[in-house]
Structure formats: C-alpha cells, structure tokens
Amino acid sequence: MLYFISLGLHDEKDMSLKALETARACDLLFAEFYTTKLETTKEKLEQLIGKPIKLLSRKDLEENYQAILEEAKDKKVGLLVGGDAFVATTHAALRLEAMKQGIETRVIHGSSIISAIGETGLHVYKFGASVTIPFLEKTKGKLPESVYEVIKLNKARGLHTLC
C-alpha cells in the first residue's frame, strides 16, 4: 500500500488528523521537500509522528522510484508531501506507476496553494495555466523560458498566473 500524505502549507501543525493518523499507521515513511518549502524540519515531523522519515531527492522520486514501490508491495508506505500531494505531476506519475504494478494507493489530501488563493481576493476561475518557478539555488539563478512564456500567455488572455 502506498499512501500519498499531504502536509498542508506551512509547518507540521498544518497536517490534518487523518494525515497524522495515516502516517502513524505506516511501516515506512518517506518525505520530499523539493516541490514545496515548509517551515518545519524532518526532525519535527518525526517527533510529531513518532517514526523515522527518509528524505528523498528529486532523483529518488523521479528516477529511482522503484525502490519505494518495492517496499509498498508488502508494507504500508507513506510519502509525505508539502501542500497537497496531487498539485505536482511527479506524485501523479508515481501513483500511476504503482497502480500499473498492482500496488494499492490512497490519497490523504491537504490544503494547497490552489485552495489558498481565496485569501488574496482573487478567484480560481480567473486563473490561466499555472507555472512552477524552481528554487533559484537549484537553477543557478536563471529561470526557464517556460516561466515567462506561461505568464505572457495568461496576461494576453486577461488571466492571473499562479506561480
């Protein structure tokens, strides 16, 4: 069983009760924080959940995911993710691969940047395509052209852009 456990937007206190209960019931926990930066630490999450957590790199999740899936074939494995697990495409791809291999999956949703938009006074229906702005330390200070292209296209259509 592979659980996708959403952590919410800010810190370890944003986890839902369902997310916390699910994490505590897992045999093995992984976490990735490259898609979202939370104001917490692995140690704080381990203390709250009461279990060790193995941090994954982007490469672990996108290229070496088979190791995670092997564990999920006979254990309850949880993947802790900032925000909501299915805002990022990487997690959806992992879920599809698990399902192809006959591994049962469950999703524990959480608050995300999509649901937090309302706080700004903007309405979700006025947003165009979203774009991921990578952390600059990961891109040597340069943004991919796609960031600018999406913003330009949305602006031309009179739509907001969620970055």
For the chain, which domains are there?
Answer: 2-112 (3.40.1010.10), 122-156 (no CATH)
Q: pLDDT digits over 111-132, tens only?
A: 888 888 888 888 888 999 988 7
What is the end-to-end Cα distance of the chain in Å, rounded?
32
Q: Quick check: 136 pLDDT over 80?
A: no
Helices and strands of the chain, counted as H and E runs? 7, 5
Q: Give the residue-averaged pLDDT of 59-75.
A: 94
Alpha carbon of 66 to those of 23, 34, 41, 73: distances in Å?
A: 21, 19, 26, 11
pLDDT at site 112: 84
pLDDT at site 26: 99
SS3 content of the chain, % helix, strand, coil (to 5): 45, 15, 40
pTM, to two decimals? 0.84
Q: pLDDT digits over 14-48, tens only?
A: 999 999 999 999 999 999 987 777 889 999 999 99
Q: Quick check: 141 pLDDT over 80?
A: no
Give the integer Cα–Cα distance in Å for 147 and 163: 8
DSSP label of 65: T
Of the two residues 132 and 75, the one the predictor is more confident about is: 75
pLDDT at site 16: 96
Q: Which two tokens stand for residue 117?
A: 């938009």
Residue 101 backbone phi and psi in degrees, to 5: -90, 10
Q: Quick one: which of 41, 163, 154, 158 has its CA closest to 113?
A: 163
